[in-house]
């Protein structure tokens, strides 16, 4: 469901962006036509300024794609707008949440699978703490609606836990996963890098500012250009 929600939100933002760019483009088109018709300004003013809003929209998309690559390849985390958010902890383990409801961590080079724990990974996490070299937390079993406490040794990747024996519900487990003081989301937030967001902000400001300055220069040149007869 989280993936579908993000797809729909992306489509909504894209449609709103196109509508806004189209409206601004029409405004620039009619204003430039007015200047050409009534003041004899160069006709290239219409051609040059009409696509400017679409250039701005295109730059937003390009800046976001760069942000995604920076987040994934340099910060080793998701871009902040993903159905499967994840970060990389200082010890190299990946901490994430499959579809936002399935908290997990996995050792470098390992992948999660169907069982709630396996070689190098643990899934269905509610609470999680890291006390080097151990991960200590609680884990839910949706099939039996119960939880258990576990310990994972990062040196040997040994997993220790009793049988699931503490009753719970899916709703209660998800509430705990988001609201508990030791929720894995708290650990996720603690180690998440913020600097990729600053890179995105700089890219947007620099790019949109350059487009705005270029447009301003174009209009100034049109004022000083010889009037066409």
C-alpha distances in angstroms, 92 versus 105, 123, 128, 147?
10, 17, 16, 27
Calculate what percentage of the chain has a pLDDT beyond 90. Answer: 59
**Confidence (pLDDT) at 89:** 96
Helix, strand and coil content of the chain, in percent to the nearest 5, comes to 50, 20, 30
Confidence at 34, pLDDT banded by 50, 70, 90: confident
Question: Do both 131 and 58 map to the same domain?
Answer: no
Nearest to 160 by CA among 137, 187, 182: 137
Number of domains in the chain: 2
Calculate what percentage of the chain has a pLDDT beyond 70. Answer: 92
**Confidence (pLDDT) at 227:** 53
Domain that holds residue 154: 86-191
Q: What is the pLDDT of residues 68-106, one digit of tens each?
A: 999 999 999 999 888 889 999 999 999 999 876 789 999
**pLDDT exceeds 60 at position 29:** yes
Question: Do both 164 and 102 map to the same domain?
Answer: yes
Q: Does 25 fall in a domain?
A: yes
Q: What is the pLDDT of residues 47-64, one digit of tens each?
A: 778 888 999 999 999 999
What CA–CA distance (Å, rounded) separates 208 from 113?
A: 44
What CA–CA distance (Å, rounded) separates 13 from 153?
A: 44
**Confidence (pLDDT) at 135:** 97
Question: Do both 185 and 214 map to the same domain?
Answer: no
Q: What is the pLDDT of residues 121-160, one digit of tens each?
A: 999 999 999 999 999 999 998 787 899 999 999 999 999 9
Question: Do both 92 and 129 map to the same domain?
Answer: yes
Question: Do both 203 and 167 map to the same domain?
Answer: no
Question: Do both 30 and 59 map to the same domain?
Answer: yes
Question: Do both 163 and 124 map to the same domain?
Answer: yes
In degrees, to the nearest 5, what angle opens at C-alpha 22 toward C-alphas 18 and 24?
120
Question: Do both 115 and 180 map to the same domain?
Answer: yes
What CA–CA distance (Å, rounded) separates 93 from 105?
A: 7
Q: Does 80 fall in a domain?
A: no
Q: Does 117 fall in a domain?
A: yes
Question: What's the mean per-residue pLDDT of the chain?
Answer: 88
Question: Do both 14 and 95 map to the same domain?
Answer: no
Question: Cβ of 147: how many Cβ atoms within 10 Å?
Answer: 21
Q: Does 81 fall in a domain?
A: no
What CA–CA distance (Å, rounded) separates 173 from 127?
A: 10
pTM: 0.85
Question: Do both 33 and 124 map to the same domain?
Answer: no
**Sign (positive or negative) of CA dihedral 159, 160, 163, 167:** negative
Question: Do both 20 and 64 map to the same domain?
Answer: yes
């Amino acid at each position: 469901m989280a993936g579908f929600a993000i797809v729909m939100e992306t489509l909504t933002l894209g449609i709103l962006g196109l509508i806004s760019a189209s409206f601004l483009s029409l405004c620039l088109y009619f204003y430039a036509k007015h200047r050409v018709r009534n003041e004899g300004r160069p006709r290239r003013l219409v051609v040059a300024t009409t696509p400017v809003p679409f250039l701005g929209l295109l730059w937003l998309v390009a800046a976001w794609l760069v942000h995604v690559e920076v987040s994934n390849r340099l910060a080793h985390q998701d871009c902040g707008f993903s159905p499967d958010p994840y970060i990389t902890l200082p010890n190299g383990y990946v901490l994430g949440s499959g579809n936002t409801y399935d908290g997990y961590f996995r050792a470098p080079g390992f992948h999660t699978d169907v069982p709630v724990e396996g070689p190098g990974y643990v899934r269905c996490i509610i609470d999680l703490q890291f006390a080097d070299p151990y991960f200590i937390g609680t884990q839910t079993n949706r099939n039996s609606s119960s939880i258990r406490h576990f310990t994972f040794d990062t040196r040997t990747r040994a997993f220790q836990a009793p049988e699931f024996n503490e009753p719970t519900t899916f709703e209660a487990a998800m509430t705990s996963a988001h609201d508990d003081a030791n929720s894995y989301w708290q650990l996720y937030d603690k180690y998440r890098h913020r600097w990729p967001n600053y890179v995105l902000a700089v890219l947007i400001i620099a790019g949109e500012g350059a487009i705005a300055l270029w447009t301003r220069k174009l209009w100034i040149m049109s004022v000083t250009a010889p009037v066409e007869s």
